[in-house]
Amino acid sequence: MEDSNIAHTLSQVAARQPGRTALIEKVFGGYRSWTFKELDDHASAYAHGLKAAGLTERDRVVLMVPPSRDFICLTFALFRLGSPVILIDPGMGYRNLLRCIHSVKPTAFIGTPKAHLFRLLNYLDFYPVNRNVCVGPGLGLLGSQLEGLADFAAGSFPYRQTGQDDPAAIIFTTGSTGPPKGVQYSHGNFRAQLDLIRYYYRITPDDIDQPAFPLFALFSAALGACAVIPEMDAAHPARVDPELFVKSIIERRVTYSFGSPAIWNVVSRYCLDQGIRLDSLRLVLMAGAPVSGELIDRVRRIISEEGEIQTPYGATESLPVTSISGAEILAETWPLSRQGKGTCVGRPLPGIEVAIIKMSDAPLGDWSEVEMLPVGEVGEVVVRGGVVTASYYNNVSDNVLAKITDGCTFWHRIGDLGYFDEKNRLWFCGRKAHRVETADRVMLTIPCEALFNEHPEVYRSALVGVQRAGGRVTPVLIVEPAKSCDRRKLIEDLKRLAAANEQTREIKHFLINHDFPVDIRHNAKIFREKLAVWAGKELGWNRS
Protein backbone atom coordinates (compact mmCIF):
# COMPACT_ATOMS: atom_id res chain seq x y z
CA MET A 1 0.00 0.00 0.00
CA GLU A 2 1.34 3.40 -1.00
CA ASP A 3 1.73 5.64 2.04
CA SER A 4 -0.52 8.66 1.44
CA ASN A 5 -0.33 10.19 4.92
CA ILE A 6 -0.77 13.93 4.44
CA ALA A 7 1.52 14.56 7.42
CA HIS A 8 4.52 13.72 5.21
CA THR A 9 4.08 17.05 3.43
CA LEU A 10 5.27 19.08 6.43
CA SER A 11 8.32 16.86 7.00
CA GLN A 12 9.25 17.02 3.33
CA VAL A 13 9.07 20.82 3.34
CA ALA A 14 11.09 20.96 6.58
CA ALA A 15 13.78 18.77 5.01
CA ARG A 16 14.03 21.04 1.95
CA GLN A 17 13.95 24.38 3.77
CA PRO A 18 14.52 23.79 7.50
CA GLY A 19 15.55 27.32 8.40
CA ARG A 20 12.94 29.16 6.38
CA THR A 21 10.20 30.99 8.30
CA ALA A 22 7.01 28.94 8.29
CA LEU A 23 4.72 30.80 10.67
CA ILE A 24 4.38 34.29 12.12
CA GLU A 25 2.00 34.84 15.00
CA LYS A 26 1.17 37.83 17.19
CA VAL A 27 2.10 37.24 20.82
CA PHE A 28 2.34 39.51 23.83
CA GLY A 29 4.85 42.25 23.06
CA GLY A 30 5.07 41.67 19.31
CA TYR A 31 5.40 38.90 16.73
CA ARG A 32 6.87 35.42 17.13
CA SER A 33 8.08 33.30 14.23
CA TRP A 34 8.87 29.60 13.77
CA THR A 35 10.81 27.80 11.06
CA PHE A 36 9.57 24.77 9.17
CA LYS A 37 11.97 22.59 11.16
CA GLU A 38 10.56 23.95 14.41
CA LEU A 39 6.99 23.21 13.28
CA ASP A 40 7.99 19.70 12.22
CA ASP A 41 9.81 19.11 15.52
CA HIS A 42 6.77 20.28 17.49
CA ALA A 43 4.46 18.04 15.45
CA SER A 44 6.68 15.02 16.21
CA ALA A 45 6.99 15.94 19.91
CA TYR A 46 3.21 16.29 20.21
CA ALA A 47 2.63 13.00 18.38
CA HIS A 48 4.98 11.18 20.79
CA GLY A 49 3.20 12.74 23.76
CA LEU A 50 -0.30 11.98 22.49
CA LYS A 51 0.67 8.38 21.79
CA ALA A 52 2.10 8.07 25.30
CA ALA A 53 -1.20 9.44 26.62
CA GLY A 54 -2.99 6.55 24.93
CA LEU A 55 -4.22 8.00 21.65
CA THR A 56 -4.26 5.63 18.67
CA GLU A 57 -5.53 5.55 15.10
CA ARG A 58 -8.85 4.26 16.47
CA ASP A 59 -9.55 7.56 18.25
CA ARG A 60 -11.69 10.38 16.88
CA VAL A 61 -10.19 13.55 18.32
CA VAL A 62 -11.97 16.88 18.69
CA LEU A 63 -9.47 19.74 18.28
CA MET A 64 -10.66 23.08 19.66
CA VAL A 65 -7.65 25.36 19.43
CA PRO A 66 -7.61 28.76 17.66
CA PRO A 67 -5.36 29.35 14.62
CA SER A 68 -1.81 29.21 15.99
CA ARG A 69 1.38 27.18 16.06
CA ASP A 70 -0.30 24.63 18.32
CA PHE A 71 -3.29 24.30 15.98
CA ILE A 72 -1.02 23.49 13.04
CA CYS A 73 1.34 21.19 14.94
CA LEU A 74 -1.41 19.28 16.75
CA THR A 75 -3.26 18.69 13.49
CA PHE A 76 -0.13 17.31 11.84
CA ALA A 77 0.60 15.26 14.98
CA LEU A 78 -2.82 13.63 14.73
CA PHE A 79 -2.26 12.98 11.02
CA ARG A 80 0.98 11.20 11.96
CA LEU A 81 -0.85 9.07 14.51
CA GLY A 82 -3.55 8.26 11.97
CA SER A 83 -6.20 9.61 14.38
CA PRO A 84 -9.00 11.41 12.50
CA VAL A 85 -9.12 15.02 13.70
CA ILE A 86 -12.56 16.59 14.18
CA LEU A 87 -12.62 20.28 13.28
CA ILE A 88 -15.75 22.17 14.31
CA ASP A 89 -16.25 25.89 13.88
CA PRO A 90 -17.20 27.14 17.38
CA GLY A 91 -18.97 30.07 15.78
CA MET A 92 -21.73 27.87 14.33
CA GLY A 93 -23.76 28.33 17.52
CA TYR A 94 -24.14 26.53 20.82
CA ARG A 95 -26.91 24.15 19.73
CA ASN A 96 -25.30 23.20 16.41
CA LEU A 97 -21.96 22.68 18.12
CA LEU A 98 -23.43 20.17 20.55
CA ARG A 99 -25.30 18.46 17.72
CA CYS A 100 -22.02 18.02 15.85
CA ILE A 101 -20.24 16.63 18.89
CA HIS A 102 -23.06 14.20 19.55
CA SER A 103 -23.08 12.97 15.93
CA VAL A 104 -19.38 12.01 15.82
CA LYS A 105 -19.04 10.63 19.36
CA PRO A 106 -15.39 11.63 19.89
CA THR A 107 -13.14 9.55 22.11
CA ALA A 108 -10.53 12.23 22.81
CA PHE A 109 -10.60 15.99 23.28
CA ILE A 110 -7.80 18.53 22.81
CA GLY A 111 -8.62 22.14 23.53
CA THR A 112 -7.96 25.39 25.33
CA PRO A 113 -9.12 25.86 28.94
CA LYS A 114 -12.21 27.67 27.65
CA ALA A 115 -13.03 24.75 25.35
CA HIS A 116 -12.63 22.29 28.24
CA LEU A 117 -15.03 24.31 30.39
CA PHE A 118 -17.54 24.01 27.55
CA ARG A 119 -16.95 20.25 27.54
CA LEU A 120 -17.49 19.99 31.30
CA LEU A 121 -20.68 22.04 31.18
CA ASN A 122 -22.04 19.67 28.52
CA TYR A 123 -20.51 16.43 29.76
CA LEU A 124 -23.41 14.26 28.58
CA ASP A 125 -22.71 15.17 24.95
CA PHE A 126 -19.03 14.32 25.46
CA TYR A 127 -19.61 11.02 27.26
CA PRO A 128 -17.47 8.83 24.91
CA VAL A 129 -14.41 11.06 25.55
CA ASN A 130 -11.94 9.30 27.85
CA ARG A 131 -8.71 11.20 27.12
CA ASN A 132 -8.34 14.96 27.51
CA VAL A 133 -5.43 17.25 26.68
CA CYS A 134 -5.39 20.92 27.69
CA VAL A 135 -3.57 23.49 25.56
CA GLY A 136 -2.84 26.16 28.13
CA PRO A 137 -3.04 26.39 31.93
CA GLY A 138 -5.44 23.77 33.26
CA LEU A 139 -4.06 23.27 36.80
CA GLY A 140 -4.33 19.54 36.24
CA LEU A 141 -8.13 19.77 36.33
CA LEU A 142 -8.80 19.82 32.59
CA GLY A 143 -6.76 16.84 31.45
CA SER A 144 -3.10 16.32 30.64
CA GLN A 145 -1.08 19.44 29.91
CA LEU A 146 0.18 19.60 26.33
CA GLU A 147 3.50 21.10 27.46
CA GLY A 148 4.03 18.19 29.82
CA LEU A 149 3.21 15.59 27.15
CA ALA A 150 5.42 17.00 24.39
CA ASP A 151 8.51 14.80 24.00
CA PHE A 152 11.19 16.62 22.03
CA ALA A 153 13.88 14.11 22.99
CA ALA A 154 12.20 11.22 21.16
CA GLY A 155 13.10 12.54 17.70
CA SER A 156 11.05 12.17 14.55
CA PHE A 157 7.74 10.37 15.03
CA PRO A 158 7.23 7.24 12.88
CA TYR A 159 4.17 7.91 10.73
CA ARG A 160 1.25 5.54 10.62
CA GLN A 161 1.03 4.25 7.06
CA THR A 162 -2.24 5.29 5.45
CA GLY A 163 -3.94 4.75 2.11
CA GLN A 164 -5.59 7.30 -0.14
CA ASP A 165 -9.04 6.52 1.27
CA ASP A 166 -8.10 6.32 4.96
CA PRO A 167 -9.84 8.97 7.10
CA ALA A 168 -7.80 12.04 8.03
CA ALA A 169 -10.38 14.49 9.35
CA ILE A 170 -14.05 15.22 9.90
CA ILE A 171 -14.97 18.79 8.95
CA PHE A 172 -18.46 20.17 9.43
CA THR A 173 -20.56 22.07 6.91
CA THR A 174 -21.89 25.51 7.85
CA GLY A 175 -25.46 24.25 8.14
CA SER A 176 -26.84 26.90 5.79
CA THR A 177 -29.52 24.49 4.47
CA GLY A 178 -30.10 22.27 7.50
CA PRO A 179 -28.14 20.83 10.43
CA PRO A 180 -24.34 20.81 9.93
CA LYS A 181 -23.03 17.52 8.56
CA GLY A 182 -19.67 15.92 9.33
CA VAL A 183 -17.72 15.51 6.08
CA GLN A 184 -15.16 12.72 6.18
CA TYR A 185 -11.91 13.82 4.53
CA SER A 186 -9.41 11.21 3.45
CA HIS A 187 -5.65 11.67 3.15
CA GLY A 188 -6.15 11.48 -0.62
CA ASN A 189 -8.67 14.34 -0.55
CA PHE A 190 -6.19 16.60 1.22
CA ARG A 191 -3.42 15.72 -1.22
CA ALA A 192 -5.66 16.48 -4.19
CA GLN A 193 -6.57 19.84 -2.66
CA LEU A 194 -2.92 20.69 -2.09
CA ASP A 195 -2.02 19.84 -5.68
CA LEU A 196 -4.80 22.00 -7.11
CA ILE A 197 -3.99 24.97 -4.87
CA ARG A 198 -0.25 24.69 -5.56
CA TYR A 199 -0.40 24.42 -9.33
CA TYR A 200 -3.54 26.34 -10.29
CA TYR A 201 -2.89 29.32 -8.03
CA ARG A 202 0.90 29.05 -8.43
CA ILE A 203 1.78 28.97 -4.72
CA THR A 204 5.56 28.71 -4.11
CA PRO A 205 7.90 28.81 -1.08
CA ASP A 206 8.49 32.48 -1.89
CA ASP A 207 4.88 33.28 -1.01
CA ILE A 208 3.59 34.63 2.30
CA ASP A 209 0.00 33.82 3.18
CA GLN A 210 -2.40 35.57 5.54
CA PRO A 211 -5.16 32.96 5.90
CA ALA A 212 -8.46 34.30 7.21
CA PHE A 213 -9.80 30.73 7.30
CA PRO A 214 -7.93 28.38 9.72
CA LEU A 215 -7.59 25.43 7.34
CA PHE A 216 -5.55 27.52 4.94
CA ALA A 217 -2.82 27.85 7.57
CA LEU A 218 -2.47 24.06 7.33
CA PHE A 219 -2.28 24.25 3.54
CA SER A 220 0.38 26.97 3.70
CA ALA A 221 2.58 24.81 5.94
CA ALA A 222 2.17 21.83 3.62
CA LEU A 223 2.90 23.97 0.55
CA GLY A 224 6.08 25.43 2.02
CA ALA A 225 4.71 28.98 2.16
CA CYS A 226 4.99 31.18 5.22
CA ALA A 227 1.69 31.87 7.04
CA VAL A 228 0.92 35.03 9.00
CA ILE A 229 -1.90 34.38 11.48
CA PRO A 230 -4.18 37.44 11.36
CA GLU A 231 -5.43 39.13 14.52
CA MET A 232 -9.12 38.31 14.17
CA ASP A 233 -11.83 35.97 15.39
CA ALA A 234 -12.02 33.39 12.61
CA ALA A 235 -15.56 32.49 13.73
CA HIS A 236 -16.79 36.04 13.01
CA PRO A 237 -15.04 37.24 9.86
CA ALA A 238 -17.36 40.21 9.25
CA ARG A 239 -16.19 41.65 12.58
CA VAL A 240 -12.57 41.76 11.44
CA ASP A 241 -10.65 44.84 12.54
CA PRO A 242 -9.48 46.10 9.11
CA GLU A 243 -6.68 48.19 10.60
CA LEU A 244 -5.05 45.14 12.21
CA PHE A 245 -5.68 42.93 9.15
CA VAL A 246 -4.13 45.48 6.82
CA LYS A 247 -1.23 46.28 9.15
CA SER A 248 0.08 42.71 9.13
CA ILE A 249 -0.29 42.45 5.34
CA ILE A 250 1.86 45.55 4.91
CA GLU A 251 4.43 44.80 7.62
CA ARG A 252 4.92 41.15 6.59
CA ARG A 253 4.71 41.75 2.82
CA VAL A 254 1.92 39.19 2.44
CA THR A 255 1.57 37.96 -1.14
CA TYR A 256 -1.72 36.05 -1.02
CA SER A 257 -4.74 35.68 1.23
CA PHE A 258 -7.91 33.61 1.38
CA GLY A 259 -11.04 34.97 3.03
CA SER A 260 -14.79 35.28 2.74
CA PRO A 261 -16.40 38.16 0.83
CA ALA A 262 -17.46 39.52 4.24
CA ILE A 263 -13.81 40.11 5.21
CA TRP A 264 -12.80 41.72 1.93
CA ASN A 265 -15.88 43.90 1.99
CA VAL A 266 -14.70 45.43 5.29
CA VAL A 267 -10.99 45.54 4.35
CA SER A 268 -11.50 47.05 0.88
CA ARG A 269 -13.74 49.83 2.18
CA TYR A 270 -11.22 50.65 4.90
CA CYS A 271 -8.31 50.77 2.45
CA LEU A 272 -10.17 53.01 0.00
CA ASP A 273 -11.30 55.34 2.80
CA GLN A 274 -7.73 55.58 4.13
CA GLY A 275 -6.00 55.72 0.75
CA ILE A 276 -4.07 52.48 1.45
CA ARG A 277 -2.74 50.10 -1.22
CA LEU A 278 -1.66 46.56 -0.48
CA ASP A 279 1.06 46.43 -3.11
CA SER A 280 2.57 43.14 -1.94
CA LEU A 281 -0.67 41.19 -2.60
CA ARG A 282 -0.44 39.30 -5.87
CA LEU A 283 -3.42 36.98 -5.21
CA VAL A 284 -6.68 37.31 -3.30
CA LEU A 285 -8.95 34.28 -3.02
CA MET A 286 -12.59 34.93 -2.08
CA ALA A 287 -15.03 32.10 -1.47
CA GLY A 288 -17.91 30.98 0.71
CA ALA A 289 -20.68 32.97 -0.97
CA PRO A 290 -21.39 34.68 -4.30
CA VAL A 291 -18.93 37.53 -4.88
CA SER A 292 -20.26 40.69 -6.49
CA GLY A 293 -18.48 42.53 -9.27
CA GLU A 294 -18.68 45.67 -7.16
CA LEU A 295 -16.62 43.99 -4.40
CA ILE A 296 -14.14 42.60 -6.93
CA ASP A 297 -13.67 46.09 -8.36
CA ARG A 298 -12.99 47.52 -4.89
CA VAL A 299 -10.45 44.81 -4.06
CA ARG A 300 -8.80 45.25 -7.47
CA ARG A 301 -8.20 48.91 -6.64
CA ILE A 302 -6.33 48.20 -3.38
CA ILE A 303 -3.95 45.41 -4.42
CA SER A 304 -0.89 45.32 -6.68
CA GLU A 305 -1.51 46.42 -10.28
CA GLU A 306 -0.30 42.97 -11.34
CA GLY A 307 -2.42 41.33 -8.63
CA GLU A 308 -5.07 38.74 -9.38
CA ILE A 309 -8.41 38.00 -7.75
CA GLN A 310 -9.85 34.49 -7.95
CA THR A 311 -13.21 33.21 -6.69
CA PRO A 312 -13.01 29.43 -6.18
CA TYR A 313 -16.31 27.55 -6.02
CA GLY A 314 -17.21 24.34 -4.25
CA ALA A 315 -18.53 23.14 -0.91
CA THR A 316 -17.19 21.64 2.29
CA GLU A 317 -17.65 18.24 0.62
CA SER A 318 -15.78 19.27 -2.55
CA LEU A 319 -13.45 22.25 -2.71
CA PRO A 320 -12.33 23.69 -5.07
CA VAL A 321 -14.10 22.47 -8.20
CA THR A 322 -14.19 25.60 -10.39
CA SER A 323 -12.57 29.03 -10.36
CA ILE A 324 -12.80 32.31 -12.25
CA SER A 325 -10.65 35.42 -12.22
CA GLY A 326 -11.92 38.78 -11.12
CA ALA A 327 -10.81 40.23 -14.45
CA GLU A 328 -13.07 37.87 -16.40
CA ILE A 329 -15.98 38.57 -14.05
CA LEU A 330 -15.70 42.34 -14.51
CA ALA A 331 -15.16 42.16 -18.27
CA GLU A 332 -17.69 39.49 -19.21
CA THR A 333 -19.93 37.91 -16.58
CA TRP A 334 -20.87 40.58 -14.01
CA PRO A 335 -23.00 42.60 -16.46
CA LEU A 336 -24.98 39.41 -17.14
CA SER A 337 -25.29 38.62 -13.42
CA ARG A 338 -26.86 42.03 -12.89
CA GLN A 339 -29.46 41.11 -15.50
CA GLY A 340 -30.50 37.98 -13.57
CA LYS A 341 -28.39 35.35 -15.35
CA GLY A 342 -26.87 33.95 -12.13
CA THR A 343 -23.34 34.15 -10.74
CA CYS A 344 -20.56 32.79 -12.95
CA VAL A 345 -18.18 30.62 -10.90
CA GLY A 346 -15.83 29.64 -13.71
CA ARG A 347 -14.56 26.56 -15.46
CA PRO A 348 -13.86 23.14 -13.90
CA LEU A 349 -10.34 22.90 -12.47
CA PRO A 350 -7.86 20.33 -13.82
CA GLY A 351 -8.92 16.78 -12.97
CA ILE A 352 -12.39 17.85 -11.80
CA GLU A 353 -15.57 16.87 -13.65
CA VAL A 354 -18.71 18.96 -13.29
CA ALA A 355 -22.08 18.08 -14.83
CA ILE A 356 -25.64 19.44 -14.81
CA ILE A 357 -28.40 16.89 -14.30
CA LYS A 358 -32.18 17.08 -14.14
CA MET A 359 -33.24 18.33 -10.73
CA SER A 360 -34.66 15.81 -8.27
CA ASP A 361 -35.22 15.63 -4.52
CA ALA A 362 -35.10 11.82 -4.56
CA PRO A 363 -32.01 9.61 -4.12
CA LEU A 364 -30.20 8.70 -7.35
CA GLY A 365 -28.45 5.44 -6.59
CA ASP A 366 -26.74 4.90 -9.95
CA TRP A 367 -25.56 7.13 -12.79
CA SER A 368 -27.82 5.19 -15.17
CA GLU A 369 -30.79 6.91 -13.47
CA VAL A 370 -29.43 10.38 -14.28
CA GLU A 371 -30.62 12.66 -17.08
CA MET A 372 -27.85 15.00 -18.24
CA LEU A 373 -28.94 18.49 -19.31
CA PRO A 374 -27.60 20.48 -22.29
CA VAL A 375 -25.73 23.80 -22.26
CA GLY A 376 -27.92 26.65 -21.04
CA GLU A 377 -30.44 24.54 -19.15
CA VAL A 378 -30.65 24.87 -15.35
CA GLY A 379 -30.35 21.75 -13.23
CA GLU A 380 -28.47 20.21 -10.31
CA VAL A 381 -24.71 20.61 -10.11
CA VAL A 382 -22.83 17.32 -9.59
CA VAL A 383 -19.06 16.87 -9.28
CA ARG A 384 -16.41 14.19 -9.10
CA GLY A 385 -12.64 14.18 -8.72
CA GLY A 386 -9.89 13.86 -6.16
CA VAL A 387 -11.10 16.71 -3.94
CA VAL A 388 -14.62 15.26 -3.69
CA THR A 389 -15.21 13.50 -0.36
CA ALA A 390 -16.82 10.06 -0.36
CA SER A 391 -19.16 10.26 2.62
CA TYR A 392 -20.57 12.00 5.65
CA TYR A 393 -19.60 10.48 8.98
CA ASN A 394 -22.26 8.34 10.65
CA ASN A 395 -24.98 9.72 8.37
CA VAL A 396 -26.47 7.09 6.08
CA SER A 397 -29.54 9.10 5.04
CA ASP A 398 -27.54 12.09 3.76
CA ASN A 399 -25.01 9.80 2.05
CA VAL A 400 -27.85 8.18 0.10
CA LEU A 401 -29.17 11.57 -1.00
CA ALA A 402 -25.80 13.11 -1.86
CA LYS A 403 -23.87 10.38 -3.72
CA ILE A 404 -24.44 8.76 -7.12
CA THR A 405 -22.51 5.60 -7.95
CA ASP A 406 -20.88 5.53 -11.39
CA GLY A 407 -19.03 2.24 -11.87
CA CYS A 408 -16.11 2.22 -9.42
CA THR A 409 -16.36 6.00 -8.87
CA PHE A 410 -19.09 8.34 -7.64
CA TRP A 411 -20.57 11.81 -8.16
CA HIS A 412 -21.46 14.23 -5.39
CA ARG A 413 -24.70 16.21 -5.58
CA ILE A 414 -23.44 19.57 -4.41
CA GLY A 415 -26.92 20.86 -3.56
CA ASP A 416 -26.73 23.82 -5.96
CA LEU A 417 -28.63 24.71 -9.12
CA GLY A 418 -26.83 26.05 -12.16
CA TYR A 419 -26.03 25.72 -15.84
CA PHE A 420 -23.10 25.75 -18.26
CA ASP A 421 -22.69 28.42 -20.90
CA GLU A 422 -21.14 27.95 -24.34
CA LYS A 423 -17.69 28.83 -22.97
CA ASN A 424 -17.80 25.87 -20.52
CA ARG A 425 -18.36 28.23 -17.59
CA LEU A 426 -20.58 27.19 -14.70
CA TRP A 427 -23.26 29.65 -13.53
CA PHE A 428 -24.60 29.35 -9.97
CA CYS A 429 -28.34 30.03 -9.58
CA GLY A 430 -28.84 29.26 -5.89
CA ARG A 431 -29.26 26.33 -3.54
CA LYS A 432 -31.67 23.61 -4.63
CA ALA A 433 -33.32 23.71 -1.20
CA HIS A 434 -33.96 27.45 -1.62
CA ARG A 435 -35.83 27.32 -4.92
CA VAL A 436 -39.41 28.59 -4.76
CA GLU A 437 -41.89 26.34 -6.55
CA THR A 438 -45.26 27.91 -7.19
CA ALA A 439 -48.16 26.38 -9.08
CA ASP A 440 -46.84 27.90 -12.31
CA ARG A 441 -43.06 27.91 -12.17
CA VAL A 442 -39.77 27.34 -10.37
CA MET A 443 -38.13 30.55 -9.18
CA LEU A 444 -34.36 30.64 -8.53
CA THR A 445 -32.96 32.78 -5.73
CA ILE A 446 -29.72 34.23 -7.14
CA PRO A 447 -31.05 35.37 -10.56
CA CYS A 448 -34.21 36.88 -9.04
CA GLU A 449 -32.46 38.60 -6.15
CA ALA A 450 -29.85 40.16 -8.46
CA LEU A 451 -32.54 42.27 -10.10
CA PHE A 452 -33.58 43.82 -6.78
CA ASN A 453 -30.02 44.21 -5.54
CA GLU A 454 -29.53 46.77 -8.31
CA HIS A 455 -31.67 49.22 -6.35
CA PRO A 456 -29.30 51.73 -4.66
CA GLU A 457 -31.05 51.41 -1.28
CA VAL A 458 -30.89 47.57 -1.19
CA TYR A 459 -27.91 45.98 0.57
CA ARG A 460 -29.07 42.44 -0.12
CA SER A 461 -32.31 40.57 -0.76
CA ALA A 462 -33.77 37.11 -0.24
CA LEU A 463 -36.47 35.33 -2.21
CA VAL A 464 -38.39 32.85 -0.03
CA GLY A 465 -41.42 30.65 -0.47
CA VAL A 466 -44.02 30.93 2.27
CA GLN A 467 -46.50 28.08 2.58
CA ARG A 468 -50.03 29.23 3.20
CA ALA A 469 -53.13 27.38 4.34
CA GLY A 470 -53.91 24.60 1.89
CA GLY A 471 -50.27 24.04 1.00
CA ARG A 472 -50.01 26.81 -1.60
CA VAL A 473 -46.52 28.36 -1.82
CA THR A 474 -46.33 32.13 -2.33
CA PRO A 475 -43.09 33.90 -3.26
CA VAL A 476 -42.03 36.74 -0.95
CA LEU A 477 -39.13 39.12 -1.55
CA ILE A 478 -37.36 40.39 1.59
CA VAL A 479 -34.76 43.15 1.44
CA GLU A 480 -32.17 44.38 3.90
CA PRO A 481 -31.71 48.11 3.24
CA ALA A 482 -28.23 49.56 2.89
CA LYS A 483 -29.26 52.37 5.26
CA SER A 484 -32.37 53.95 6.75
CA CYS A 485 -34.99 54.36 4.04
CA ASP A 486 -38.50 55.43 3.21
CA ARG A 487 -40.12 52.03 3.69
CA ARG A 488 -43.21 52.73 1.61
CA LYS A 489 -41.28 54.24 -1.31
CA LEU A 490 -38.75 51.38 -1.35
CA ILE A 491 -41.48 48.76 -1.51
CA GLU A 492 -43.20 50.63 -4.35
CA ASP A 493 -39.87 50.67 -6.23
CA LEU A 494 -39.45 46.92 -5.65
CA LYS A 495 -42.92 46.24 -7.01
CA ARG A 496 -42.06 48.14 -10.20
CA LEU A 497 -38.80 46.17 -10.56
CA ALA A 498 -40.66 42.89 -10.10
CA ALA A 499 -43.30 43.74 -12.69
CA ALA A 500 -40.65 44.70 -15.26
CA ASN A 501 -39.00 41.26 -15.47
CA GLU A 502 -40.41 37.92 -16.54
CA GLN A 503 -38.52 36.07 -13.79
CA THR A 504 -40.05 38.14 -10.98
CA ARG A 505 -43.54 39.13 -12.15
CA GLU A 506 -45.15 36.58 -9.86
CA ILE A 507 -43.76 38.29 -6.72
CA LYS A 508 -46.48 40.43 -5.13
CA HIS A 509 -45.36 40.52 -1.49
CA PHE A 510 -42.37 42.55 -0.22
CA LEU A 511 -40.94 42.96 3.28
CA ILE A 512 -38.11 44.93 4.91
CA ASN A 513 -35.79 43.22 7.38
CA HIS A 514 -32.86 45.21 8.81
CA ASP A 515 -30.85 42.23 10.11
CA PHE A 516 -30.67 39.17 7.85
CA PRO A 517 -29.70 35.91 9.60
CA VAL A 518 -26.46 34.69 7.97
CA ASP A 519 -23.95 31.91 8.49
CA ILE A 520 -21.20 32.44 11.06
CA ARG A 521 -18.26 31.12 9.04
CA HIS A 522 -18.57 33.43 6.03
CA ASN A 523 -21.18 35.92 7.28
CA ALA A 524 -22.64 35.87 3.80
CA LYS A 525 -24.90 32.83 3.30
CA ILE A 526 -28.45 33.94 4.03
CA PHE A 527 -30.57 31.61 6.17
CA ARG A 528 -33.62 31.81 3.93
CA GLU A 529 -35.49 29.17 5.93
CA LYS A 530 -35.46 31.45 8.98
CA LEU A 531 -36.54 34.40 6.87
CA ALA A 532 -39.43 32.37 5.44
CA VAL A 533 -40.73 31.65 8.95
CA TRP A 534 -40.36 35.34 9.85
CA ALA A 535 -42.15 36.39 6.66
CA GLY A 536 -45.07 34.06 7.38
CA LYS A 537 -45.52 35.68 10.78
CA GLU A 538 -45.15 39.22 9.43
CA LEU A 539 -47.79 38.58 6.78
CA GLY A 540 -50.11 36.81 9.21
CA TRP A 541 -50.25 33.66 7.14
CA ASN A 542 -50.78 30.26 8.66
CA ARG A 543 -47.74 28.18 7.70
CA SER A 544 -48.63 24.50 8.05
Total domains present in the chain? 3
| pLDDT value, residue 445 | 97
- 237 found inside a domain: no
* Same domain, residue pair 405 and 423: yes
Q: Each residue of 149-180: pLDDT tens digit?
A: 999 999 999 999 999 999 999 999 877 667 88
Residue that is last in its domain, among 407, 430, 453: 430
Q: Each residue of 181-193: pLDDT tens digit?
A: 999 999 999 999 9
Q: Each residue of 262-300: pLDDT tens digit?
A: 899 999 999 999 999 999 999 999 998 889 999 999 999
Give the CATH number for residue 140. Answer: 3.40.50.12780
* Same domain, residue pair 333 and 456: no
- 269 found inside a domain: no
* Same domain, residue pair 351 and 216: no
pLDDT at 346 over 50: yes
Q: Each residue of 82-101: pLDDT tens digit?
A: 999 999 877 677 788 899 99
- 141 found inside a domain: yes
Nearest-10 Cα torsion for 96, 144, 142, 61: 10
- 248 found inside a domain: no
Give the CATH number for residue 380. Answer: 2.30.38.10
* Same domain, residue pair 382 and 473: no
pLDDT level of residue 238 (50, 70, 90 thresholds): confident
- 367 found inside a domain: yes
Residue that is last in its domain, among 414, 430, 446: 430
Residue that is last in its domain, among 184, 206, 229: 229
* Same domain, residue pair 108 and 125: yes
Share of the chain above pLDDT 90, in %: 85
- 321 found inside a domain: yes
Give the CATH number for residue 517. Answer: 3.30.300.30
- 166 found inside a domain: yes
* Same domain, residue pair 378 and 495: no
Average pLDDT over residues 422-431: 97
pLDDT at 356 over 90: yes
* Same domain, residue pair 363 and 456: no
Own/partner pairs, 529-537, CB within 8 angstroms, 24+ separation: 529/177, 531/462, 531/464, 531/478, 532/464, 532/465, 532/466, 532/476, 534/478, 535/464, 535/466, 535/476, 535/478, 535/509, 535/511, 536/466, 536/467
158 contacts: CB under 8 Å, gap ≥ 6: none
In 3D, which of 13, 382, 528 has the Cα closest to residue 225? 13
The length of the chain is: 544
* Same domain, residue pair 55 and 171: yes
- 257 found inside a domain: no
34 contacts: CB under 8 Å, gap ≥ 6: 21, 22, 23, 25, 42, 69
* Same domain, residue pair 412 and 441: no
Q: Please say whether the beta carbons of 76 and 7 come within 8 A.
A: yes
* Same domain, residue pair 197 and 54: yes
Q: Is the entire prediction scored with pTM above 0.75?
A: yes
> Other C-beta atoms within 10 Å of 489: how many?
10
Provide the domain limits for residue 474: 435-539
* Same domain, residue pair 195 and 341: no
* Same domain, residue pair 420 and 442: no
